[in-house]
Chains A and B, each alone.
Chain A
Amino acid sequence: MKISLTWLKHYVDLDGITTEQLVETLPMIGLEVEGVESTALPQFEKLVVGEVLSREQHPNADRLGVCMVDVGAEEPQQIVCGASNYKVGDRIPVALPGCKLPGDFKIKKSKLRGVPSNGMMCSAKELGMGEDHSGLLILEQRPEIGTPINDVFPGGETVIELELTANRGDCLSHIGVAREVAAAFDRELTLPKVKQHPGEGEGLISGVEVQSEACPLYTAASIKGVKIAPSPDWLREAIEAIGLRPINNVVDVTNYVLHETGQPLHAFDAAKIKGGKIIVRQAQDGEQIKTLDEVERKLTAADTVIADAERALVVAGVMGSIEAEVDDSTVDIVLESAYFRAGAVRGTTRRLNLFTDSSHRFSRDVDPAGVDFAARRCIDLILQVAGGTVVGKTITMGEAPRADRTIEITPDYVRRVCGFKVEDEAIAAAFTRLGFKVDSNAYQWRVLVPSFRPEVDRPIDLVEEFIRLHGSAQIPSASVKAVGLSREDDPLAVFNRKAVEKLAGAAFAECSHYTLVDGKELATWFGQDRADVLQLDNPLTSEMSHLRPSLIPGLLDALRLNFNKGNAPARLCETGRVFRSVDGKVSELASVGFVMVVDDGQRRWREREQPDFYTAKQIVGELAALAGVKPEKLEYALLEGEPLWQPDHAAHASCWKKTGYKAFAGMVNVSALKVWDIDSMVIAGELILDPSLLAKERKPVRLEKFSNFPPSTKDLALIVDADTPAESVRSQIAKAAAEATGEGFSADGVSVFDQYAGEGLPEGKKSLGFAIRFRAADRTLKDKEVNQAFDQIQAAIKEAGYEVRG
């Protein structure tokens, strides 16, 4: 919001306060300054008042004149000029040789089409005083010849742009800001004097009918016989200073009063009110109105309109219709000053996406007590600039929805919240300066807060007012009160920390991608059904329309980017939330994901082994262990029907819905990599966790005794179908081994150490080699007992249908 200092000075004396001081002070009382604009003239040298003594036609150019100009020097100066709006005897600004105009334009002695010219007569624009470039700036007030131009325009206008917080609707006006400035600098606030307008005879309308709940207070005054014309200079300048476009005297006055008092007003052309009556009602669903900005708008029953007998004339509190506009033919006007409920106007203004000075103020809750003041101020000014007479009594419907109120507070309470010593008087002074009335006769003070501060409602709100005025710089320094920790970091934070630490230690670069992803891409890699339940209701863009179900696509994006940039990416990882669904119900899960390129495109003087599924499996297992899940609990199976993963080369384990965790590992689908435009094959892994799993208390692990005697190992090779999972065989051997041992000694490990297919084996078969390790707790095992157990295991395995390789 723009505040003109010239304007501000009407209400508060700014003598001795520089613009800099003001700009530094306002933010410290809660009014943020966005910027300062000054239209004051820059300091010019050799730019003086001159008088045109004569004008001759230029011999070589039709459009140019050759003038003799008195600039207060001994001799008049010859100046060639292209303007035509001046006459001999006019006084104008003259830039003499050596003067520098805005835009680093230096004036020199020169010749224009062969005729010498010793300077330049200037337009307003050339001085940086606005946009008028149609001709010379004629100095109507005829200042002394030779006067420096800066002395002619000493002031200029300074405008401060404020960015106000949502609670400070009271500052959306010059008087509101003046009140704050007066409080901050402890000065007097002077409000304009307004008159009573009893109004003779009959008003222009027969009445106002308020049907809408959104309008608890409505007033209408009638002014007959106004003369619509351009505004006088003072009004036009004031309006222009804050960036508004002057329209006509009546409309300009309503705008002026809005920016002066913060109360929006509306002037109706009385002739355009059909049926002679104003009705404040809800719009009908689908009702149309063409607003002043010439847009046809469709209303709903949630919107309020000001209507006549036939149609809506104004979207209440937002904008008038083009049909009821005050125009050059207007003679009689009805002036509305009303209170519309903040929520109602906010709803309408957002629904219509139509934000006006009026709706902005109503949305922030105008002062009901200001309705009458603003109306009277507006009438005073209309009568002053447009003439006319007030007829009839002001019609007032309803009453102010809220008034001044009293808050009880003790100065001790203020001190208790603040935590530092401050005198009663200083507290009371802050309130008084803000225009609050303090009754401090009893221990419990009674503070009367005027209705223009609706948000100051509780003792704590008064503390805020105190600290704001007293100055936050007065808060003393102190040391932090720190006592021992009784709480631990959330287990999810701890897990993420450890996970990313582990991955960074294994050469992964941690990434961070947006949580929101493109719905189409999501459907491609995860299916339409899964995508549908992850869709947002009101996404801003289609690229960010859905919640992500996995970190892998983002990491592939990062691989692509880094390949494209020639960064030779090798290993990337990320931790973050993902969203998964079962039966249309979504859960928010924690995830840690990683990708490894098989060929990073870098040439090396020595080759290293490339990652594969088993590399990913190992990493996922270690991450699972950080979450308290034993890696061996991850029972992997080949992934099927997952477009993101390469069939036969990727696997998943467990189900987050049942166990709280799920693991993926393997090769990213080669066709997906084509879409991503990644040349290398990519191995990926992801561990997804329900955060509640991590919250489970973990018991300390108890020692399991181990044998000090040497183990004895037997190897067993089996020929099985090529697609038999090794684990299914291993677990059977382990089971047989457990049965074959038992008393006194045990098989304390069965592991796969070899897999072979090819020469020497039938097509479709493979050989698996297992090592069975026996150990006893109390002795070195004898060959005999080991052999006996091994025979028994082989027999059991053969019985289970496996062929033992010779």
Chain B
Amino acid sequence: MKEELAAIVLEVESTAPGIARRADFEAFKATISGPNGKLTAVMKGMKNVPKEDKPAMGQLINQAKQQVEAYYAETLERIEATELAAKLGPAIDPTLPSPDIGPGSLHPLTQTRRRMEEAFRKVGFTVAEGPEVETEWFCFDALNTPEDHPARDAQDTLFMPADAAIENVSKRGDERYILRSHTSTVQIRTMLKEKPPLRIISPGRVFRRDTTDATHSANFHQMEGLYVDKNVTIVDLKAILDYFVAEIFGKGSEVRLRPSFFPFTEPSFELDMKTPNLGKLSNQWIELGGCGMVDPNVFKSVGYDPQEWSGYAFGMGIERIAMIVHGIDDIRYFYQNDLRFLQQFA
């Protein structure tokens, strides 16, 4: 028996290192430790061993078993290591590029719009939305732009046919549907829906009947702001614009309000900006948009009492700001969607 055990241990010792696959290992293990295995047979033979020899014999068997199992463990570890190595494959070349596509990117207009939105949100303005197909009343009448104003002409504004029916855009009367020429329409819809005080910005797409060139686009984007409260003053208007320009163009930027005219504000100003860190455009006045104090007639048209409420409004082109910030010289880039443009500003 002793010899048998020694032979089994020897067999395991000599065979196990040569086993490469798990299945071979399991098969070999069965020939030793399986139900019909050699070691199992020896263990079964214990019952025939005389009582007085049992302790010594048991010790021998245990010893042999421990030895065999140590070989098993060693073999299994080796096989697992081999398997893992096969699974892992060769070492990576960390300098190879990823074959995955990407990265994704936000459009430069989205990026600029967000910067603007975030700046205004910090001082309490939230985004309002409205339809792109609008009506003359919301786009002009409510904004104090009389019937025969040049801006209302078919020369400049895109009209829907007289019989067009836009189901989810409400009309005031029987006025025509048009494509909004500014997002001030959103101010009107918001004021009709919500009660003052109000602080909103309305970023969105607007349309002009313009021939497309480097500075004109059939559609472009504006962000308009509206602040309605009691006792709002021109000083407040200047303050928000000073703040915004510093947020976008950095400290040291200056704002200039140049008297102008818009039907929906009185007084009205062009908003000019000057900043020291803008390359070629540094330290010269650049027009950013328009602004002014909300005309009392606009409040009347939405049912706010102009004796009680006052406010300011401003508007600027998102493309324009993006062009100034990034030094983009042609508005058409925004709509060509060349990836070399789209992904340049990410």
List A residues at the B interface (Cβ < 8 Å).
27-30, 32, 165-168, 342-343, 346-347, 350, 363, 416-420, 458, 460-461, 463-464, 467-468, 472-473, 475-485, 487-490, 492-493, 497, 500-501, 503-516, 533, 535-541, 544, 547, 557-558, 561-562, 565, 567, 569-573, 576-577, 579, 584-588, 600, 604-608, 690-692
Q: Could you tell me if B161 and A342 are in contact, using CB atoms closer than 8 angstroms?
A: no
Residues of B within 8 A of A468 (CB): 259, 267
Would you call A561 and B337 a contact (CB within 8 A)?
Answer: yes
- A605 engages B99 (CB within 8 Å): yes
Q: Give Cα distance in the complex from A346 to B149, angstroms.
A: 9
Beyond A460-B295, A478-B238, A487-B198: 15 further Cβ-contacts under 8 Å? A165-B261, A343-B148, A418-B235, A460-B266, A467-B259, A488-B126, A515-B179, A537-B161, A538-B159, A558-B337, A572-B337, A585-B167, A586-B167, A587-B167, A588-B133
B150 at the interface (CB under 8 A from A): yes
Q: Provide the residues of chain A in CB contact with B132, threshold 8 Å.
A: 515, 577, 588
Identify B236's interface contact among A168, A347, A419, A604, CB under 8 A.
A419
- Known contacts: A464-B267, A511-B107. The answer to whether A487 contacts B168 by CB under 8 A is no
Q: Are B169 and A464 in contact (CB under 8 A)?
A: no
* A300 → B minimal CB distance (Å): 16
| A542 CB, min distance to chain B CBs, angstroms | 13
A691 touches B129 (CB 8 A): yes
Query: Is A539 a contact partner of B158 (Cβ separation < 8 A)?
Result: yes
A475, B234: Cβ atoms under 8 Å? yes
A-facing residues in B148-164 (Cβ within 8 Å): 148-150, 153-155, 158-162, 164
**Looking at the complex, which one of A479, A516, A577 makes contact with B218 (CB distance below 8 Å)?**
A516
Chain B: residues with CB nearer than 8 A to chain A?
96-97, 99-107, 109-110, 114, 117, 121-124, 126-129, 131-133, 147-150, 153-155, 158-162, 164-169, 179, 194, 198-200, 203, 205, 207, 209-211, 218-219, 231, 233-236, 238-240, 242-243, 256-261, 266-270, 293, 295-296, 310, 334-340, 342-343
Q: Is the CB of A350 within 8 A of B101?
A: no
Chain B residues within an 8 Å CB radius of A30: 258-261
A460-B293, A537-B161, A579-B133 given; A562·B148 CB < 8 A: no
CB distance from A486 to the nearest CB of B (A): 9
B205:A515 contact, CB within 8 angstroms: yes
25 sampled A-B residue pairs with Cβ under 8 A: A32-B270, A165-B260, A166-B149, A346-B148, A460-B293, A463-B266, A475-B234, A478-B235, A479-B239, A480-B239, A481-B236, A482-B124, A492-B129, A501-B106, A504-B104, A504-B105, A507-B103, A511-B342, A514-B218, A536-B179, A567-B340, A577-B205, A585-B165, A587-B168, A692-B168
Residue of B nearest to A577 (CB): B132
B342 CB to nearest chain A CB (Å): 5
CB closest residue in chain B, given A579: B133
Chain B, Cβ-Cβ closest to A608: B99
- Shortest CB-to-CB span from A587 to chain B, Å, is 5
A489–B336 Cα distance when bound, in Å, is 29
| A-side contacts of B126, CB under 8 Å | 485, 487-490
Give Cα A536 to B334, complex, Å. 23
By the criterion CB–CB under 8 Å, are A480 and B123 in contact?
yes
Contact B339 A569 (CB under 8 A): yes
**A342, A343, A363, A504 — most chain B CB neighbours (10 Å):** A504
Chain B residues within an 8 Å CB radius of A467: 234, 259, 267
Q: How far apart are the CA atoms of A493 and B129 in the complex, in Å?
A: 7
CB closest chain-B residue, reference A604: B99
> Contact between A418 and B233 (Cβ–Cβ < 8 Å)?
yes
B233 contacts A477, C-beta separation under 8 Å = no
By a CB distance below 8 angstroms, the chain A residues around B117 are 489
A17 to B72, CA, bound (A): 106
Please, which residues of chain B bring their CB within 8 A of the CB of A28? 258-259
Are A561 and B336 in contact, with the CB atoms below 8 A?
yes
| B259 A342 Cβ-Cβ under 8 A | no
On whether the beta carbons of B99 and A606 are closer than 8 Å, the reply is yes
Q: Please, which residues of chain A bring their CB within 8 A of the CB of B243?
A: 479-480
Tell me whether A576 and B160 are in contact (CB under 8 A). no
What's the Cα separation between A534 and B295 when bound, in Å? 35
Complex Cα gap A795–B100 (Å): 47
Assess the A509–B339 pair: CB atoms within 8 A.
yes
Closest residue to A570 on the B side, CB-wise? B101
- Our pick among B122, B165, B233, B258 for the contact of A482 (Cβ within 8 Å) is B122
Residue of A nearest to B243 (CB): A480
List the A side residues contacting B110 at CB < 8 Å.
500, 510
User: Complex formed: what's the CA distance from A504 to B106 in Å?
Assistant: 6
Docked Cα-Cα span, A572 to B338, in Å, equals 11
- Checking A166, A487, A536 against B160 with a beta-carbon cut-off of 8 angstroms, the contacting residue is A536
A562 contacts B339, C-beta separation under 8 Å? yes
**Cross-chain contact B234 with A547 (CB below 8 angstroms):** no
Report how far A519 CA is from B33 CA in the complex, Å.
Answer: 82
Contacting residues, chain A, for B161 (C-beta < 8 A): 535-537
Pairs A-B, 10 closest by C-beta atoms = A419-B233, A419-B235, A507-B102, A464-B267, A504-B104, A165-B261, A30-B259, A558-B337, A343-B148, A490-B129
A570: B residues at CB distance < 8 A: 101-102
Let me know if B165 and A584 touch, CB within 8 A. yes
State whether B259 touches A586 (Cβ < 8 A). no
Q: Which of B123, B150, B155, B261 contacts A168 (CB 8 A)?
A: B261
Give the distance to chain A from B107, nearest Cβ to Cβ, in Å: 4
A349 to B117, CA, bound (A): 42
In the complex, the answer to whether A588 meets B131 with C-beta atoms within 8 Å is yes
Instruction: Report the Cα distance A584→B165, complex, angstroms.
Output: 8
A103 to B234, CA, bound (A): 50
Residues of B with C-beta under 8 A to A565: 338-340
Q: What is the CA–CA distance of A32 and B261 in the complex, to the nearest angstrom?
A: 11
> Bound state CA distance, A511 and B343, in angstroms?
10
Please state if A490 and B269 are interface contacts (CB–CB under 8 Å): no
Note all chain B residues with C-beta closer than 8 A to A586: 133, 164-167
Provide the residues of chain B in CB contact with A458, threshold 8 Å.
Answer: 266, 296
CA distance A510 to B104 in the complex (A): 8
A540→B218 contact, CB < 8 A: yes
Whole-angstrom distance between the Cβ of B5 and the nearest chain A Cβ: 43
* B269 and A472 within 8 A (CB): yes
CB A563 to nearest CB in B, in angstroms, measures 10
Contact, CB under 8 Å: B231 / A416: yes
* B258 and A472 contact, CB distance less than 8 A: yes
| CB pair B267 A477 closer than 8 Å | no
- Chain A residue numbers with a CB within 8 Å of B149 are 166
Given the known inter-chain contacts A537-B160, A561-B338, A586-B164, please indicate yes or no for A166 contacting B261, CB distance below 8 A: yes
Partner of A562, one of B210, B260, B293, B337: B337
| Distance in Å: Cβ of A678 to nearest Cβ of chain B | 14
Distance between Cα atoms of A600 and B99 in the complex (Å):
12
Q: Which of the listed residues A420, A516, A540 has the most CB atoms from chain B within 10 Å of its own CB?
A: A540
Residues of A within 8 A of B102 (CB): 507, 570-571
Contact between chains at A588 and B105 (CB < 8 Å) = no
- Which of chain A's residues has its CB closest to B203's CB? A493
Q: Is the CB of B296 within 8 A of A460?
A: yes
The answer on a CB contact under 8 Å between B231 and A600 is no
Q: For B159, list chain A residues within 8 Å (CB).
A: 536-538
Q: Which residues of A contact B128 (CB under 8 A)?
A: 490
Min distance, Cβ A426 to any Cβ of chain B, angstroms: 15
Determine which of B101, B168, B239 lies in contact with A478 in the assembled complex, contact meaning CB atoms within 8 Å: B239
Q: Decide if A478 touches B129 in the complex (CB within 8 Å).
A: no
What chain B residues lie within 8 Å of A478 (beta carbons)? Answer: 235-236, 238-239
A561: B residues at CB distance < 8 A:
336-338
Inter-chain CA distance A778–B222, complex, in Å, is: 59
CA distance A509 to B106 in the complex (A): 6
A514 touches B104 (CB 8 A): no
List chain B residues, Cβ under 8 A from A32: 258, 260, 270
Residue of A nearest to B124 (CB): A482
Q: Which residues in A have their C-beta under 8 angstroms from that of B293?
A: 417, 460, 463
On chain B, the residues within 8 Å of A490 by CB distance are 126-129
Q: How far is the CA of A485 from the CA of B124 in the complex (A)?
A: 5
Query: Would A472 and B257 count as touching, CB distance under 8 A?
Result: yes
Report the bound CA distance from A493 to B131 in whole Å: 12
**Across-interface contacts of A505 in B (CB, < 8 A):** 104
